[in-house]
């Protein structure tokens, strides 16, 4: 039997938590031969709900679930962990922009970054989901200076999956055939869902779409605003699809992306595609041996460059709004 992997989930008593924990414990994320120890963090006021979730986890009698740690202390939650999924945050309510949540969440992710720095395994994989995810990931990594920068990522996989499905619906093709999608930038409405590299059966998808106006008029805004549309429809933000995207993101990071494809990950910019260092940005990425790499060498036209820069600008504004909360370097 393999040694157990310790997976921390913050905001574990929330709605994404409820859609995520059972799938992880069932083996959907790390495989059906991988024992798991869950470290579940939530605030003190949510511990009674968390206890109920733990009762249900026990009631599933998952063979892979070796132990469950529950706590409201990030240091306990992050001790010796291999994977951290940082979901816990204040969700956006109707009419709120992600930027409005910046200060409220900056404090949470500062504390958690420090706790990760102190207690997590040195090769921990950290995925930030709580919004605004890119900037929260940046705050987390800035508070964890002893961990390699490549330990950190933010979730744009839900946007990537949304884009795949819109194309699959448009072309009447299975999602699995659509490759090389990209969501550049921020997990927000400024993101740039870019179809120009996407392929199906080796053919450029743009060449298969007869009404080219559909891309600008429908595809891009639908993907950009899907989170808001779900909040309007459900009264609360996406949960099952977010949990599914978390599983996809961690699975690819741990077990490699497919040979003929890439995924979108929010990762620290390194100057690639003229996106300056110092933000967590959605890039096309491949993963090998537990490490992600930005896909290099894609041709970017001038219109795309402008869109990529606009979403970068928003990230810069978010960073400027919280920079007084970052530790001095
Ligand atoms: P929720 O309100 O149902 O649950 C949030 C949980 O976090 C609650 O149990 C709350 O008690 C907990 N929490 C709050 N502060 C905490 C802290 N300091 N430490 C630990 N736990 C804390 O919300 P949800 O629907 O599960 O969404 C969680 C976050 O994920 C939100 O910020 C939402 O906007 C975001 N989200 C991101 C994506 C994405 O693609 N990146 C998609 C969907 C939702
Ligand atoms: C989503 O994309 O569904 C969420 O990030 C929306 C939100 O603001 O919680």
Residue spans of the domains in the chain: they are 5-154, 156-319
Q: For the whole model, what pTM was predicted?
A: 0.97
CATH pick for 156-319 out of 3.10.450.50, 3.30.1490.20, 3.90.110.10, 3.40.980.10: 3.90.110.10
Q: In this predicted structure, what is the pLDDT of residue 147? A: 98
| Cβ contact 69:39 at 8 Å | yes
Number of other CB atoms surrounding residue 26 within 10 Å? 15
Kindly give the residue spans of alpha helices, DSSP state H, lying in the chain. Answer: 15-26, 47-59, 74-77, 102-119, 133-142, 157-171, 213-214, 220-224, 226-234, 240-255, 302-322
Indicate which atom in ligand 2 lies nearest the CA of residue 159: 2
* 187 Cβ below 6 A of ligand 1: yes
**pLDDT (tens digit per residue) in 8-25:** 999 999 999 999 999 999
* 129 Cβ below 6 A of ligand 1: yes
Q: Which of 19, 92, 162 to mutate to test the pocket of ligand 2 (most atoms within 8 A of CB)?
A: 92
Is a pLDDT exceeding 80 seen at residue 258?
Answer: yes
23 a known binding residue?
no
Q: Which of 48, 71, 88 to mutate to test the pocket of ligand 1 (most atoms within 8 A of CB)?
A: 88
* 238 Cβ below 6 A of ligand 2: yes
Two tokens, residue 68: 């469950």
Which one is predicted more confidently, 325 or 190?
190
Q: What percent of the chain has pLDDT over 90?
A: 91
User: Ligand 2 centroid to 28 CA: how many Å?
Assistant: 23
Distances (CA, A) of 113 to 117, 119, 126, 233, 298: 6, 10, 10, 34, 33
Nearest ligand atom owner, CA of 227: 2
Q: Which of 14, 47, 240 to mutate to test the pocket of ligand 1 (most atoms within 8 A of CB)?
A: 14
Lowest mean pLDDT among 7-11, 52-56, 74-78, 318-322: 318-322
CA pair distance 178, 163, nearest whole angstrom: 10
Return the residue whose CA atom lies nearest to atom 6 of ligand 1: 11
| Cβ contact 316:304 at 8 Å | no
**pLDDT (tens digit per residue) in 279-306:** 999 999 999 999 999 999 999 999 999 9
**324 confidence band (pLDDT: 50, 70, 90):** confident
Return the residue whose CA atom lies nearest to atom 3 of ligand 2: 227
What is the chain's mean pLDDT, rounded?
96
* 158 Cβ below 6 A of ligand 1: yes
User: Ligand 2 centroid to 154 CA: how many Å?
Assistant: 13
| Cβ contact 83:7 at 8 Å | yes
Two tokens, residue 291: 């490490």
Q: In this predicted structure, what is the pLDDT of residue 328? A: 77
ipTM, 2 decimals? Answer: 0.99
CA pair distance 43, 182, nearest whole angstrom: 35
For residue 19, which of 245, 231, 240 has the smallest C-alpha distance?
Answer: 240
Q: In this predicted structure, what is the pLDDT of residue 155? A: 98
Q: In this predicted structure, what is the pLDDT of residue 97? A: 65
Q: Which CATH superfamily is domain 5-154 in?
A: NAD(P)-binding Rossmann-like Domain (3.40.50.720)
Name beta bridge partners: 128: 86, 154
| Cβ contact 185:315 at 8 Å | yes
Any residues with CB less than 8 A from the CB of 207 and at least 6 apart, and which?
A: none
DSSP secondary structure letters along 217-239 = IIIHHHHHTHHHHHHHHHSS---
For residue 280, which of 299, 263, 265 has the smallest C-alpha distance?
Answer: 265
Largest alpha-carbon pair distance within the chain? 56
> Which one-letter DSSP state was computed for residue 130?
S
User: Ligand 2 centroid to 238 CA: how many Å?
Assistant: 6
CA pair distance 224, 226, nearest whole angstrom: 6
Mean pLDDT for 13-39 is: 98
Give φ, ψ of 287 to 5 degrees: -125, 135
In this structure, what is the dihedral angle of CA atoms 210, 216, 218, 224, given to the nearest 10 degrees? Answer: 140
* 96 Cβ below 6 A of ligand 2: no
Residue 309 gets the label, from left (phi > 0), alpha (psi -120 to 50) or beta, of alpha
Q: List the catalytic residues.
A: 187
Name beta bridge partners: 263: 285
* 130 Cβ below 6 A of ligand 1: yes
Return the residue whose CA atom lies nearest to atom 1 of ligand 2: 227
Indicate which atom in ligand 1 lies nearest the CA of residue 16: 26
Nearest ligand atom owner, CA of 188: 2
* 46 Cβ below 6 A of ligand 1: yes
**pLDDT (tens digit per residue) in 105-142:** 898 999 999 999 999 999 999 999 999 999 999 999 99
Any residues with CB less than 8 A from the CB of 302 and at least 6 apart, and which?
A: none
Which sign, positive or negative, has the C-alpha torsion 47, 48, 52, 58?
Answer: positive
């Amino acid at each position: 039997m393999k040694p157990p992997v310790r997976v921390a989930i913050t905001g574990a008593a929330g709605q994404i938590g409820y859609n995520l924990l059972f799938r992880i414990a069932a083996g959907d994320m790390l495989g059906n031969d991988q024992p798991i120890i869950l470290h579940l963090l939530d605030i003190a006021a949510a511990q009674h709900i968390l206890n109920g979730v733990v009762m249900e986890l026990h009631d599933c009698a998952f063979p892979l679930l070796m132990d469950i740690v529950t706590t409201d202390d990030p240091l306990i939650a992050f001790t010796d962990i291999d994977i951290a999924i940082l979901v816990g945050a204040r969700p956006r309510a109707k009419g709120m922009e992600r930027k409005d949540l910046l200060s409220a969440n900056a404090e949470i992710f500062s504390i958690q970054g420090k706790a990760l720095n102190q207690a997590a395994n040195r090769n921990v994989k950290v995925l930030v989901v709580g919004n605004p995810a890119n900037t929260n990931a940046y705050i987390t990594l800035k508070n964890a200076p002893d961990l390699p920068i490549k330990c950190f990522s933010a979730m744009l996989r839900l946007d990537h999956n949304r884009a795949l499905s819109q194309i699959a619906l448009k072309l009447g093709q299975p999602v699995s055939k659509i490759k090389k999608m990209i969501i550049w930038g921020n997990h927000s409405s400024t993101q740039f869902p870019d179809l120009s590299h996407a392929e199906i059966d080796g053919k450029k998808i743009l060449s298969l779409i007869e009404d080219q106006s559909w891309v600008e008029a429908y595809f891009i805004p639908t993907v950009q605003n899907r989170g808001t549309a779900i909040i309007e429809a459900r009264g609360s933000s996406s949960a099952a699809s977010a949990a599914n995207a978390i599983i996809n993101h961690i699975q690819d990071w741990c077990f490699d992306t497919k040979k003929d494809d890439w995924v979108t990950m929010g990762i620290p910019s390194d100057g690639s595609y003229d996106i300056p260092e110092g933000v967590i940005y959605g890039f096309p990425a491949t993963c090998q041996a537990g490490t992600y790499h930005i896909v290099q060498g894609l041709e970017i036209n001038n219109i795309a460059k402008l869109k990529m820069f606009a979403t970068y600008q928003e990230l810069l504004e978010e960073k400027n709004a919280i920079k007084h909360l970052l530790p001095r370097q």
